[in-house]
Amino acid sequence: AGRDEQDSVEFRRFRQQLLHSSIARILLPLKKWMTKARLTKCGDGHWRRVVYGIGPYIADYPEQCLLACVVSEWCPRCPAEANDLDGSPDILVQRTHQHTEKVRAACGGNLREMWDGYGMLSDVVPFTVYFPRANIHELLSPDILHQLVKGTFKDHLVTWVVEWMEEQEGGKEKVAEMDRSRIAAVPHFPGLRCFHEGRGFKQWTGDDSKALMRVFLPAITGLVPDGMVRAIAAFLDVCYLVRRSQISESVLEKITDAVARFHAERHVFLEHGIRDNFNLPRQHSLVHYRLSIQLFGAPNGLCSSITESKHIAAVKETWRCSNRNQPLGQMLLSNQHLDKLAAARAIMEPHIPLHLRDPQDNRRTIQTTRAPPPAADELEEEDVTAKDESEPVGLVTSEGDVRLPRYTSARYPRPLPLLTAYLGGRIPLEEHIRRFLYDQLNPEADIIGMDVPLDRCPFVDPHLHVSVYTIATALYHAPSDYSGVGAMRREIIRATPSWQNGPPRHDCVYIERDPDEAGFNGLNVAQVRFFLSFKHRNREYQCAYVHWFEAFGEAPCDITGLWRVAPDTSGRAHRRMASIIHIDSILRSAHLIPVYGPRPIPKVHYSQSLQSFNLFYVNRYIDYHAHETVF
C-alpha cells in the first residue's frame, strides 16, 4: 500500500484480518488433534494419547484489543461499557463468539452501532473462531508488568499522588522532599536499587517501577491524605498476591478482598479532583485476575515482555548477520539454522564427555546438579558486589540456614582482650559471651541469659580466641521470588565498618522468636553489628552480636498495614539493648524504612537512616517472600 492508503480504514482492517488469518494458518495442522487424541512421545520418554488445545495468549493491552476485535478503551474480556468499566454489572460476564454473533444479528450488521454501543470490530473475524474450545476473550492472559506495575502503579497512582502534592501549597517542595529526603534515605537492602536522587531519571524501566513499589508507601505517608496511602497499600497487596507461585483458595479470597479495598479507597482521588472517573482498562483488568488464575494457574510474573524479548535473537541479531539487501529471507534462513543447531546440540550434548565440553557448560552443569557453596565462603566482603547479594542457588535440601564464610576478617584481632580493646571497650564482649553460653547450655531455663545474674553464667577462658566476620549467607525457601532449583534463594547479610570503601553497613535480620506463631508475631528484628565464632569446651559456636528492636504496638499500622518497630533501649541513658545470638535463629535479612511523619526532615544519607530515626516500618513489600511471611 502507498503512504496515502496506509491510514485508511480498509487497509487497517486488512492488516487486522491478516494477523488473525496468519495465526489460524499456523495452528491449522493441529486442528485435527483438537478433537481426536494423538499418540505423542512426551518429554519423560513415555507415549501418551494427547488432545491439543489453544492455551493463554500473552499480549499487552493494544494487542489484546487487536486479538479480541474490540475498540480501544473497552475491555477485551467482558462487555462492560467503556464509560463505566467497573460499575457495570457485566464485568463478571465473559465475552464469547456467540455473544458477538447475537449482537451482530440484533444490530442487523450495522458496523457503527456495534462499534459505538458494544465496542466490537464486527468486520474482523478472530482466529479462535476456527478452532474447538477456543475463545480469545477467555484466553487473554494477565500482563502483570504492563497492567499492574507500569500501568496502574507508575502511570496512574504515582502520577496522581504527585499531581495532588503539586497542587497544594508548597507542593514543589513536598515532591522534592519525598524524592531527595525520603526515597533517597531508604536503607540499603540486598538487590534493592538506591534512588540517590529520588525518582529523578528520564527513562523508566520495568525494574525501576518495581524498585519504587518496594519503598513508595512509607515515603508518602504523612505527606498525602491517609486514604491515598490506604489505596496504594491495597493495590500493592493485589500485586504481591497475584505474583505468588502457589495460590490457594484462601489466597484467592485475599485477592478479591484486596481488589475490593482498592476500589473503595481509590475514591479519594475523585474527592480531591485528581480524577473524574476510573474508566481505565489496565486498572479494570484487576477484576479478571481471579478468573484467569482459576483457569490457567498462578501468573508468577507472566507479562508480555517475556515474548517481546525474543525479538532480540529472532530479529535484531539475525538482521545484523544479513547483508541488509532484502534481509527478510536471510533472517528466516538464519533462524532455521539456529533452530537446527540448537536441536543438534540437545541431542549430542548428553553423549559428550564432561572434560570435552565447553568450560562454561561444565560450570553450569555442576552448579545445577550440586548445591554451590555460598558466595561468602570463598571471598572477602569486598569481593562480593551489590548485584551478587541476592540471587537464586542450585539444589539445596534444607528449608534454609545461615552460614558464615570460611575466612575471618583480617582487620580484627582474635584474642578476646585485644578484640574488646579494638572495639573501644564499649562492648562488654566477655559478659555477652557468658550470657549467650548460659542460654545455649540451659535451653529450658525460665530466665534468659540477659536477665540472669552474671555469676550464674559459665566462665570463659580470658584468652579465648574469637573470630570476627563481616558477612554471612542466608539460604531460604522463596518460591515466589527469582529462585533456583528447589526454590532456594541466597542472600548476603552484611555487618561491616566500611562497605566498598565507603560508609559502614549493618543489615537488619529477622530472628525466630516463636515458631508456633504466624507472621510477625513469631519474629523479632535486630541489627547485626558483627558476626563471630569461638570454641567452648571443644564445641564451636557461630554467633552474631546484634542490637535489638521492639515492636511498636500489638498490630500493624491501620493506614499502611505495616508493622512498626523502635530501637530497644534501657535506662536513662537509653542504651541500645544488645546481645549475642546463635546464627541458627536468624531467618534472613529484614528491611526497615523510617517513619518520616508529616514534618519536613533533613537530608539523611541512607547509610545513616537506622541511626537517625526512632521509629521504623517493617517493609513487607521488599520482596515476595517477605510479603508472604511478615503479615
SS (H, E, C) 592-603: EEECCCCCCCCC
Output DSSP code: residue 425.
T
DSSP state for residue 45 in the 8-state scheme? S
pTM: 0.87
Q: Are 13 and 123 in contact (CB under 8 A)?
A: yes
Sign of CA dihedral 78, 80, 85, 90: negative
Q: In sequence order, what are the beta bridge partners of 578?
A: 547
Percentage of residues of the chain with pLDDT beyond 90: 65
Domain range for 507:
375-379+386-414+465-629
Residue in the block written with cell 499500622: 557
If asked whether residues 394 and 504 sit together in one domain, one would say: yes
Distance in angstroms (rounded) separating the CA atoms of residues 610 and 469: 21
pLDDT value, residue 370:
35
The secondary structure of 300-316 as a DSSP string is TT--THHHHTTHIIIII
Each residue's pLDDT tens digit, 457-473: 999 998 899 999 999 99
- Radius of gyration from C-alpha coordinates of the chain: 29
Cell output for 264: 473503595
Cell numbers for 403: 552460614
* Residue 422 falls inside a structural domain: no
**What does the alpha-carbon distance between residue 618 and residue 631 come to, in Å, rounded to a whole number?**
10
Is 441 contained in some domain? Answer: no
Name the grid cell of 443.
535451653
**How many structural domains compose the chain?**
4
> Are 494 and 514 in contact, with CB atoms under 8 Å apart?
no
Residues 323 and 296 in one domain: no
**Same domain? 475 vs 619:** yes
The whole-number average pLDDT for the span 550-562 is 96
- Spatial distance between the Cα atoms of 448 and 445, rounded to a whole number of angstroms: 7
Residues 197 and 113 in one domain: no
60-65 long-range contacts, CB within 8 A, separation 24+: 60/143, 60/146, 60/304, 61/143, 61/146, 61/147, 61/151, 61/281, 61/282, 63/304, 64/140
pLDDT digits over 378-417, tens only?
333 334 444 457 777 654 544 568 999 999 998 999 999 9
Do 187 and 40 share a domain, yes or no?
A: no
Instruction: Give the containing element (helix H, strand E) for 387.
Output: none
Mean pLDDT of 18-37: 95
Please indicate, yes or no, whether residues 55 and 35 belong to a single structural domain of this protein.
yes
Residue pLDDT, tens place only, 198-252: 665 545 677 788 889 999 999 999 999 999 999 999 999 999 999 999 999 999 9
Q: Is residue 450 part of a domain?
A: no
Per the CB < 8 A criterion, the answer to whether 37 and 53 are in contact is no
278 domain-assigned: yes
List beta partners, residue 39.
49
Residue 1 has pLDDT above 80, yes or no: no
Cα–Cα distance measured from residue 470 to residue 333, given in angstroms and rounded to the nearest whole number = 54
Residues 218 and 273 in one domain: yes
Same domain, yes or no: 172 and 83: no
pLDDT grade, residue 364 (50/70/90)?
very low
Q: Is residue 343 one of the residues assigned to a domain?
A: yes
Same domain, 283 and 314: no
